[in-house]
Structure 1
Amino acid sequence: MVDILAPISVGELFDKISILEIKLKRLVDPEKLAHVQHELSLLLGIASQSGVADTEGIAPLLATLKGVNTAIWEGENQVRDLEHRGVFGKAFLDATLAVHRLNDERAATKRAINILTSSSIVEEKSHARVRSKVVL
């Protein structure tokens, strides 16, 4: 078995942890759950050992990140359900746009975590913010 250790931002570490915590509550397959638990355990150990989990002021950002990732999970499920049913009207567009906005909030929260913890790696968002009018 090969382990690959790669440097990531503090925000990315906690993003991954929050997603794994969500998966732990929502997956039912025992094998998948075992994989998720293993990875989560490793990443929690890194967060604990580094001390970044104890950074003053980080708890509200972590709660926001988990809430946003939960909303993204639910939004993606909604988009997939609508697609599966062949519903591509206003409901599909609204759900898709909501996921885009949530991803922007996710990126902003990860950035705030990176700044708060003085992460040596800071991710940069590169998507243009465009407000467009959609006519159905």
Structure 2
Amino acid sequence: MKVEVSNGELLDKLTILELKMSNISDDKKLINVKKEFNELSPLAKLLFEKFKDGLLTKYKELALINSELWKIEDDIRECEKNKNFGEKFVELARAVYFTNDKRSDVKKQINILTGSGFIEEKSYEDYE
């Protein structure tokens, strides 16, 4: 099945797949991760060729944000495993949506920069 997605969503997916390739050690899982990465990366290459440095900067920003999210998720799962639902757990839980908001913003910037046919919109209560 093929589904059209926004350019920001495509690049977001690639940064997550790169994280998985760096962090997953199970060879069977890595086969699937690499297969998906290899299928999607030629599409991203076309975008990078067209939008060059501006897009590469946003891609790196998105990769950094997703790396932060990966660490937050690992830490919050460690709290869950240890039944530690105190201040650290709450701090991490809040960090998930703060960081996801940054992620969403960068994806939207990518969509606008590249003239994506789709632009993802969020509709959450403003907390600031």
Give the aligned length.
Answer: 126
Give the match's secondary structure for 2:91: helix
Q: Does 1:81 align with 2:88?
A: no
Q: Following superposition, which runs of at least 4 residues in structure 1 exceed 4 angstroms of deviation?
A: none
- Output the TM-score relative to the length of structure 1: 0.90
The answer for the alignment partner of 1:91 in structure 2 is 88
> Whole-Å Cα distance in 2 between the matches of residues 27 and 82 of structure 1?
21
> Whole-Å Cα distance in 1 between the matches of residues 44 and 55 of structure 2?
12
The answer for the alignment partner of 1:15 in structure 2 is 12
Give the deviation of 1:46 after TM superposition.
1.8
The answer for the alignment partner of 1:52 in structure 2 is 47
Q: What value does the CA root-mean-square deviation take over the aligned residues?
A: 0.9
Q: Can you give the 5+ residue segments of structure 1 that lack an aligned partner in the other structure?
A: 132-136
Corresponding residue to 2:37 among 36, 40, 62:
40
Give the match's secondary structure for 2:122: coil
- Output the TM-score relative to the length of structure 2: 0.95
> Whole-Å Cα distance in 2 between the matches of residues 77 and 71 of structure 1?
10
Question: By percentage of residues, which structure has more helix?
Answer: 2
Give the deviation of 1:81 after TM superposition.
0.5
Q: Can you give the 5+ residue segments of structure 2 that lack an aligned partner in the other structure?
A: none
> Whole-Å Cα distance in 1 between the matches of residues 125 and 66 of structure 2?
21
Corresponding residue to 1:126 among 90, 115, 123:
123
Please say which structure displays the higher CA radius of gyration: 1
